[in-house]
Structure 1
Amino acid sequence: MTQGRKTVTVIQGDYAVSADPNVMMSTVLGSCVAVCLFDPKAGVGGMNHFLLATAGTTESDDLKYGVNAMELLINRVLKAGGQRSHLQAKLFGGARMTEHARDIGATNATFALDFLAREGIACLSQSLGGVSARRIQFIPSTGAARQMQVSGALPDVAPIKPPAPQPADITLF
C-alpha cells in the first residue's frame, strides 16, 4: 500500500484532498476522528482530522471542529471532480483516551456518523471507540484504507548511566 507513494500527513485540525493515485494520506488518532471521503468513480478523495465535534456556543471556522472540517472536505472533494451522489466514507478514531474526563471520542464519533447520515453519504466501514490510538493510511483515489492499532504503554527503558570519571593525565603542583 505504501510502496512508491508520496505520503501526505494530515495533522490535527487539517484536511487534504487528492486525485493522484500515487498519494497516500496518513494520520494518527486518539479521541480525534478522521473521515476518509472518496468518490470511487471519479478517483478522488480526501481525509480530515478533527478534535472536537462542534465549537459549542461560539461560532468558529476553525478546522479543529468537525462541523467545519466536514463541510470543507466535502466541498473540496466535489471541487476536485467528485460527485455528491457517489461519495462514500470510512471513519476512524474516537477512542476514549482518559477515564477521568468526558468521553470526547464518543462525542466525535457520534457527530461524524450523524453528519454523514444527514448528508446522505454512505459509511462503508468504521473503526470507532475503544481505548487505543490508531495510525491510518488512506489512498484517496481508490478509497483503500489501512488501520494499525497503537496499543500498550511505552516500554520501560533502562536509564542511561553517565560514564565513570577518568583519572586526570595532568599533575597539579
Structure 2
Amino acid sequence: MEFDFINVGIAEFGVSEAPNILRTILGSCVGICLYDPKSKVGGMSHIMLPSLKDSSKSMKKYADTAIPMMLEDMERQGAARGRVNAKIVGGAKMFSMSENSVMGEIGNNNIAKVKEVLKGLSIALIAEDTGGNYGRTIDFYLDTGKVKIKSMGREERVI
C-alpha cells in the first residue's frame, strides 16, 4: 500500500485521508489530531499559541482559530463533525524560566486553550500525552487513527 508522509510545520495544519501519515515535531507547541474513523479523514494542527489577539495573518498558529479551520477542511474531504474525535500531544515546559515568566507557561496555556476549543466544538478528547519537559515527534496514522509518539530517552508510546 502506498502512502505519503505529510510534514506539518510550526503554525500549520494538514488534512488528508488513509493511508497517509501526518507528522510533526513538538516542544511547548501542541499537536492536535482530529479523526473521523468512518471516512478515515484526519487532520493535524501544530498550535503555537492559545489565542489570536491581533489581526495576525497566520491564523493557523492559534488554537482558537486553527482548530475550527482544520475541522472545516476535514468536512470538505468527507469527515462528519459528529464522528470526529481528538488526541492531543505536546505542551512541554521546554525551558526553565523565572517564577513569574509568561514564557514558562506557554505549554500549559496551549493545552488549556486546546481543550476549551475542543469542548466548544463538541469534539471528544479521547487521549493525550501532554506536559513534561521534553520534546516529541508524532506520527498520525490515518488508516487507524493511532498516534505514535517518540521522545529522546523515552519509550515509544501509541495513543
Q: Same fold (TM over 0.5)?
A: yes
* TM-score bracket for this pair, using the shorter chain length: 0.7 to 0.9
Partner of 1:79: 76
Secondary structure of the equivalent of 1:132?
A: coil
Going by fraction, where is helix more abundant, 1 or 2? 2
Equivalence for 1:132: 134
Q: Does 1:43 align with 2:40?
A: yes
Which 5+ residue runs of structure 1 have no aligned equivalent? 153-173
Following superposition, the deviation at residue 151 of structure 1 comes to 5.1
Over 3 Å counting, the alpha-carbon distance change for 1:87 and 1:107 in structure 2 is same
Alignment of 1:2-13 (within 5 A): 5-13=3-11
Query: Structure 1: how far apart are the matches of 2:143 and 2:42?
Result: 6
- What's the RMSD between the two structures over aligned residues? 1.7
Aligned residues: 148
After superposition, residues 39-118 of structure 1 pair within 5 angstroms as 39-56=36-53, 58-62=54-58, 63-100=60-97, 101-102=101-102, 103-118=105-120
- TM norm structure 1: 0.80
Shift of 1:140: 2.5
**Deviations 1:66-123, CA, capped at 9 Å, x for gaps:** 2221111110111110111100010001001112142100000001111111111011
Change (3 A) 1:68 1:61: farther
- Separation of aligned partners in 2, 1:149 and 1:140: 21
* Structure with the greater alpha carbon radius of gyration: 1
Shift of 1:35: 0.4
Give the letter aligned to residue 53 of structure 1.
P
1:164 alignment counterpart: none
- Structure 2: state its 5+ residue gaps: 155-159
Give the letter aligned to residue 142 of structure 2.
P
So what's the TM-score if we normalise by structure 2?
A: 0.86
